[in-house]
Structure 1
Amino acid sequence: MAINNKLNKIWYGGDYNPEQWDREIWDEDVRLFQLAGINVATVNVFSWPLLQPSEDEYDFRQLDDILDNLHKNNVHVCLGTSTAAHPAWMAARYPDILRVDWEGRKRTYGGRHNSCPNSPTYRKYAAKLAGKLAERYRNYPGLLLWHVNNELGGYCYCDNCAKAFRVWLKRRYGTLEQLNKAWYTAFWGHTFYDWNEIVPPNLLSEGVHWNYQRSNQNSISLDYFRFGSDSILECYLIEAEAIRKHTPDIPITTNFMGTYKEMNYFQWAPHLDIISWDSYPAPNQPPSFNAMTHDLMRGLKNGRPFMLMEQTPSVANWQPYCKLKRPGEMKKWSYQAVAHGADTVMFFQLRKSAGSCEKMHGAVIEHAGHEHTRVFRECAELGAELNRLGNTLIDSRIHAKAGILYDWENRWAAELSSGPSNDLDYVNEVHKYYSAFYEQSIPVDMVGIESDFGRYDILIAPLLYMVKPGLAEKLEAFVSRGGTFVTTYFSGIVNETDLCYTGGFPGPLRNVLGIWTEETDALYPGESNSLVLTRSYGELKGAYTSDFLCDLIHSEGAEVMAVYGSDFYKGMPALTVNRFGSGTAWYVATSPEASFMRGFIKQLCEDKGITPLLPPQEGIEVTCREKEGAAYLFILNHNMEQRTIELPPGLAAVKELISGIMVNNELKLPPHGTAILQLPVR
């Protein structure tokens, strides 16, 4: 099923800001849109002062003209609510709308995402504007989707938020006695006797100056992360509710930012009709990282397709070094999104701004203002290709038998912890395991703790520092039924309020893992140990370098598969496997080198009968989407040279959908090239 059946094909377009231009430019814009194959424009994302020039005045005449111009030229609309930046008059008249930052400084007017999410003024006027837009344009024939706000995020530490935080805490804990217990406030004499004594944990209270992520009182700061995400979600819901009163059948979304730390997207996901996100891979970022983030976005709604809401056609101006996308690279990143479940390809931006901080950001229409540019030609080529694909891929799904657990609250807690290492980066730890699947062309899902584990044969939970109530039992049931579970160093340390489990780590995971952890050693950058296998496992044998963290563990029934090779804990277990019911639970006590990770994941998959989509080849990415019995094999070349892909005998004489030609035996892909093979219907 398409996002909206008014346009049952891959949506192609992006952010369009005609309010920045004189009207004579608008006709030229739509002419160029037609040349590029653009069929969707996201408009009205930052227009609040134009729509509401004063407190009691609304003016939609310019937006009417913009929408009329797009409709008569067959360009559909993703309509923004413009609430990501409040008007200057609002800041001057209602200072409660202004945010206070982590260092305790109250903002003046400027920037974007500059509104306090708990300001009654902001919530009142944002909801009112969203409702007026929905009422006015409810019958607009080109309306495909509502786009609430833009890249929601950022916490506030003002008095409004302090009051709201106390209300949130009362709902969560009920009594101060329960709160003091959950927060361990006996430490440093922090016991609270009145709710009004609680203040936001910023630099003026519990924050540690040398690192925004650190806190003297981890439990308080962890709850403020939860509260901050909830507060901004409430703002989204207020707008969404105002919109649904008038357009109940038009889907609503807001654009996520991948692994953005501050918002718990698994908690947000049920409230969005479709997940959308903005993809801006750095030029030196491994392709596997962006692939992982696409899969995370797909995983937010249990595998349903998502929207690529933004990417740059060429250069991202806010990166430290604004490197151009090489010929073919923009198309490759676009197809990577589709390969991992996107049903749209959208850009920021369609026409390049003439001024301010995004004037050097890439666009389909450059400052030159015509179609005779390298970027425009490539965008037009992609538009023609996507048009030929039609609805073939729409609502097709990816089927994986392995999953990687990703949990925002676990990340918050682990990175707030003062120890064991300042280099602890939850996302990077997850990526180490994801890349081992990716490099072997084995599909893997990114799943939340509320997901159905029963869909998987293998479940990986890197750095499962926080184990919430019920999770250990859920994992035990998964393993007992025959699943393979893997977790790592620094797991099973704390409960949901960041209090350490006593009686031995890994806390409630101790039973299923068959081990206990006595100590954790942090290694300096450049320092290493080794993981020495006591017996071979698949192709793994001998010794492998390890670094970062080393858990000192003892077996309580688990089989020791590898030991440490040096230091005073030489000979202690470094890799164990425990037979539990019909399945197995592995504990990786250190961070092994990439070659070990690839061999380890490969053998785990072989043990479960999970095979690569194609024989792995360096720099070649492979995914598969399925629909109505047909399968579509995506093959992407991330190398700077042409690659030849040898196809298995069963793939002889198949159609390549982008070119429309038949492929036999082998496929030649140019640098940054993509192929989509239509496999026989099963």
Structure 2
Amino acid sequence: MAAARSHRWLRWPENTAGRGSGRKLAYGADYNPEQWPREVWDEDVRLMREAGVNIVSLGVFSWARIQPGPDEWDFAWLDEVMDLLHANGIAVDLATATASPPPWLTTLHPEILPVTAAGETVWPGARQHWRPTSPVFRTHALRLAETVARRYADHPALTAWHISNELGCHNVYDYSGDAAAAFRIWLRERYGTVERLNTAWGTAFWSQHYTGFDQVLPPRLAASHPNPTQQLDFKRFSSDALKEYLRAERAVLESATPDVPITTNFMVMGETRGMNYADWAAEVDFVSNDHYVRPGAQALDELSFSANLTGNIAGGRPWFLMEHSTSAVNWQPVNRAKAPGELARDSLLHVAHGADAVCFFQWRQSAAGAEKYHSAMVPHAGPESAVFRAVADLGRRLEELAPLAGSHRKPAPVAILFDWESWWASEQDSHPSSLLRYRQEALDWYSAMLARGVRADVVPLGTPLEHYRMVVAPILHMVGEDRAKELVRYTESGGHLVATYFSAVVDENDHAWLGGYPGPLRDLLGLRIEEFVPLLPDEEVRLDDGSAGTLWSDDITVTDPQVEVLASYADGPRAGQAAITRRSAGAGSAAYVSTRLGAQGLTGVAARLLAKAGVAGELPPRLRGSVELAVRADAASEYWFVVNRTAEPVDLADLGGEPIDPADAPEGGAGVLPPRGAAVLRRPTA
């Protein structure tokens, strides 16, 4: 896993609102004053102070306003806003404004517009209509970034630089001529010779042999399935191309302001998969993330999963929640408002997993444009509203929680491995099943751990595993020889590994391991699979432990008599065959789960595997499943975040610890966590 570059956090101005220049949690939003008349700005800063806001992201989508034409600049309005914010004790995370090119630029240079795999141009009218590899776009964007950086380098409100916005959200995959040229350069650097590329891509299949790099194209629309390794390498290249663009903007900012920390907002959430954020983390001074809750039974679990993964991408150091929503969003099929308590609960759950900044999109709800129905800190209803009252209450709570700023996430006893490249490769076309969902399987395991009351870290592949008692590797599809040896060493040294279906099937070039699956982990697991047996959407298989599997099953032959069969298939053509196994290996063990059991089905499996690994929950048994526990710590204290996962009150009377926020103090000797509530308890460091 890549580590952050220099671990620099926000550079707080001396007059910043909050608890002086000492410990504080950042609180605020994207601020877009250019959408509003000048007289609104004074009300904005007054309300910001009332809500406890101490930071805003400014200028994110301001390119057309800052640079109205090729050689025209208008900074008067931005100067005034910067001064106004500083005068009111509000720090500025200043964006380079490069996220969305203005109409004059796309009119003069339509060659910067992205192209789809089918050859269609992505036209202006929304945002992020630019090619990551376009030399023309880069020239104009870096000129803007440098001009902004030099103008505000010494402004006292400047606390950090915000590069672009949600890099790759809409333009990660571009199939243009610029992309093709850059892809060939990337491939030459990766493989050195076209012969090595031919070997890696398996071009003997379908007469795809290349005799020069100039013949290679991105995987554009083809008559059938494009070469799988070509597709995988294009995904790798596309993430790298955006990372290289990030570096280019960073270099401009560092030249003008070497002491100002730099970040960009990741999107560790849902099915956003195109950017390998574990690889990007080394390019920023502190990790930032945007997260929006998706509806569904696992909505809160997914929020926790994403915040947890973000905290581990950040290496356990504090990170910045750059965007989330106060209430409804505008881009789902049905956009429902948050229930009472959810605004604070969702925010504090991010803090629980290491965020030292909580910000929303956006400060004032837009009156026009595509996001006018997206909630904000100041809604259409104005400050006399339930949303703004909740916003102000959260600001007060975050001030009370200032003592935990700078503390680190306490490692959990269990790790769930997360690998972007296995995600990419396992869901490509021409596979045994198109229904497989990598992230969902990882989330199901996380939900099972939450249900058992066991803390689990979601960690990028490459994270040291020695201190984890158990490691779950869901659909670790791509396993090279070196990775397999690491997993064997972990297990034989006393760790307990859990692998799942469709794991260790291919190497780093997406070539199938021969001799039976799961390739280099066969001996460790003590089993061999000759055939995958994927299931149709309406099929399921019963197991003799009472659970039921969907999506997938395997034709397993147990090859080691020491393997313990924890569950067998109870019906169908594989009735009596092993479905879940466990084999002792050295001082540890290696288990295999061959079907998708879902979050509920995995709860029972997790209980058995946790017991065999000697892992127990830290919460009292009566709270497990209804309360999530996340722990931060510093030299003197542990901070226990307890989050109510239910719509019913939860009694915390016997949990112990001293509430940091007086509002969380027990009344009459009984501490009750309200529905959707969250509390923070300080305990002596164990």
Please, which of 380, 383, 386 is the counterpart of residue 392 of structure 2? 380
Residue by residue over 1:324-374, the C-alpha shift from the partner in whole angstroms, topping out at 9 and shown as x without a partner, is 111211111111111121111101010111111011110111234x42111
Q: 2:10 aligns with which of 4, 8, 12?
A: 4
Which residue of structure 1 aligns with residue 557 of structure 2? Answer: 554
The total of aligned residue pairs comes to: 661
Match among 612, 622, 633 for residue 626 of structure 1: 633
AA in 2 matched with 1:139? D
Please state if 1:640 is matched with 2:655. Answer: no
Match for residue 389 of structure 1?
A: 401
Q: Which residue of 2 aligns with 1:579?
A: 584
Counterpart of 1:678 in structure 2 is: 682
| Separation in 1, partners of 2:241, 2:76 | 33
1:666: how far off?
A: 4.3
Which of 50, 67, 75 lines up with 2:82 in the alignment?
A: 67
2:199 to 181, 194, 203: 181
Give the alignment partner of residue 53 of structure 1, picking from 59, 65, 68.
68
Cα displacement string for residues 115-170 of structure 1 (whole angstroms, at most 9, x for unaligned residues): 00110011112222222222221211121111111111121110000111111111
SS in structure 2 of the partner of residue 454 of structure 1: coil
Structure 1 residues 614-623 or 175-184, which shifts more? Answer: 614-623
Q: Does 1:604 align with 2:619?
A: no
- Aligned-partner Cα distance in 1 for 2:8–2:258: 17
In structure 2, what residue type is equivalent to 1:679? R
- Classify 1:102/1:428 alpha carbon distance in 2 versus 1 (closer, same or farther; 3 Å): same
- How far apart are residue 472 of structure 1 and its match? 0.3
Answer whether contact 1:131 1:242 (CA < 8 A) is retained: yes
Letter in 1 for 2:418: Y
- 2:571 is aligned with what amino acid? S
CA 1:593 to 1:160, structure 2 compared with 1: closer, same or farther past 3 Å? closer
Could you tell me whether the CA contact under 8 Å between 2:441 and 2:598 is conserved in 1? no
Report what 1:544 is aligned to.
547
1:288 counterpart residue number? 301
- Determine if the alignment matches structure 1 residue 99 to structure 2 residue 114: yes
Q: Secondary structure at the match of 1:495?
A: coil
Q: Which amino acid aligns with 1:645?
A: L
Q: Give per-residue Cα distances to partners, 1:610-663, cap 9 Å, x unaligned.
A: 321213444422222111131111111232232223524xx2x73352516357
1:216 is aligned to 226
Contact 1:654 1:679 (8 Å CA) reproduced: yes
Percent sequence identity over aligned pairs: 38
Query: Equivalents in 2 of 1:26, 1:506: separation in Å?
Result: 61
Contact 2:309 2:460 in 1 (8 A): no
Give the superposition deviation at 1:416: 0.4
Residues 459 and 486 of structure 1 are in contact (CA less than 8 Å); yes or no, is this contact kept in structure 2? yes
The alignment status of 1:275 with 2:287, answered yes or no, reads yes
Which shifted more, 52-61 or 185-194?
52-61
1:306 aligns with 2:319: yes
Instruction: Give the whole-Å Cα distance in 2 for the aligned partners of 1:2 and 1:621.
Output: 30
List alignment gaps of at least 5 residues for structure 1: 209-214, 533-541
Matched with 2:256 is 246
Amino acid at match of 1:567: G
SS in 2 for 1:679: strand
Q: 2:470 aligned with 1:454, yes or no?
A: no
TM-score, normalised relative to structure 2: 0.93
Q: Which moved more, 1:10-19 or 1:581-590?
A: 581-590
The CA RMSD measured in Å over matched residues stands at 1.9
Question: Deviation of residue 67 (structure 1)?
Answer: 0.3
**Native 8 Å contact 2:659 2:679 kept in 1:** no
Question: For structure 1, which segment, 177-186 or 556-565, has the greater mean C-alpha deviation from structure 2 after superposition?
Answer: 556-565
Of residues 568, 574, 588 in structure 1, which corresponds to 2:573? 568
Amino acid at match of 1:545: A
Cα distance in 1, alignment partners of residues 514 and 311 from structure 2:
37
Change (3 A) 1:417 1:277: same
1: distance between equivalents of 2:85 and 2:176? 42
SS in 2 for 1:343: strand
Q: Alpha carbons of 1:660 and 1:596: their partners in 2 closer, same or farther (altered >3 Å)?
A: closer
* Offset, 1:490: 0.9
Instruction: Provide the C-alpha distance between the structure 2 equivalents of 1:484 and 1:584, rounded to a whole number of angstroms.
Output: 5
Provide the C-alpha distance between the structure 1 equivalents of 2:400 and 2:503, rounded to a whole number of angstroms: 48
TM-score by length of 1: 0.93
Contact 1:393 / 1:627 at 8 angstroms: preserved in 2? Answer: no
Query: Matches of 2:304 and 2:537 in 1, distance apart?
Result: 27
Counterpart residue identity of residue 135, structure 1: R
1:334 aligns with 2:344: no
Return the offset for 1:526.
2.9
Q: Is the 8 A contact 2:322 2:358 kept in 1?
A: yes
Distance 2:276 2:368 in 1: 34
Q: Aligned equivalents of 2:503 and 2:294: distance in 1?
A: 30
Deviations 1:477-498 (A, max 9, x none): 1111111011011111111111
How does 1:363-512 map onto structure 2 within 5 Å? 363-368=376-381, 370-512=382-524
2:476 and 2:493 mapped to 1: Cα distance? 21
- Asked if the contact 1:47–1:82 (Cα under 8 Å) also holds between the matched residues in 2, the reply is yes
What secondary structure, in the 3-state scheme, does the structure 2 residue paired with 1:579 have?
Answer: strand
Query: What is the SS of the residue equivalent to 2:550?
Result: strand
Gaps of 5+ in 2: 1-6, 13-20
Residue 535 of structure 2 is aligned to residue 518 of structure 1: no
- 1:441 Cα offset (Å): 2.3
After TM superposition, the structure 1 = structure 2 runs for residues 26-45 of structure 1, keeping only pairs within 5 Å, are 26-45=41-60
Give the match for residue 169 of structure 1. 187
